[in-house]
Amino acid sequence: SRLVYNFRMAYPYALMAKEKVLVADSVLASRKFTSKGREKFIKDFEKQLFAEFEKPLRKMTISQGKLLLKLIDREIGQSSYQLIKEYKGGFNAVFWQGVARLFGSDLRKPYDKFGEDRITEDLVQMYNNGTFDYLFYSIF
């Protein structure tokens, strides 16, 4: 039941992350940025993301944050480590991997819908076919 609650808190943010990455990727692909221009776009985009999501994400528990990282991997098809490395560079990716390790998490760990994350995958399927709320409200 804790996983169901944490899923309800984290999954909408994973879907929003997918949307934001698609927007950033399409802008980066459609415009001819210089390296400084690309860096400025990413920095501005990051500021916008912080303004929009910092407060609610800081309110998440460590368990919800770990689940969010897995769900982002599921939705985007890249680990959080790969995303950070792609947008912010290898040094930042290594730094945030170290921070994640302090909290018992791993930014490189892939989503495994047939193994460790099988139950989470069932919740995703329930969410997508509209039956998740019935489960959630039957528990809470």
Q: Tell me, yes or no, if the pTM score tops 0.75.
A: yes
- CA dist 119 and 1 (Å) reads 11
Residue 106: CB atoms within 10 Å: 15
Q: Where are the alpha helices (DSSP H) in 60-139?
A: 62-76, 80-88, 90-102, 118-128, 132-139
- CA dist 89 and 49 (Å) reads 18
Residue 99 pLDDT grade (very low, low, confident, very high; cuts 50, 70, 90) = very high
Residues 6+ apart with CB under 8 A from 45: 20, 24
Residue range 111-130, pLDDT digits in tens: 999 999 999 999 999 999 99
Residue range 45-86, pLDDT digits in tens: 999 999 999 999 999 999 999 999 999 999 999 999 999 999
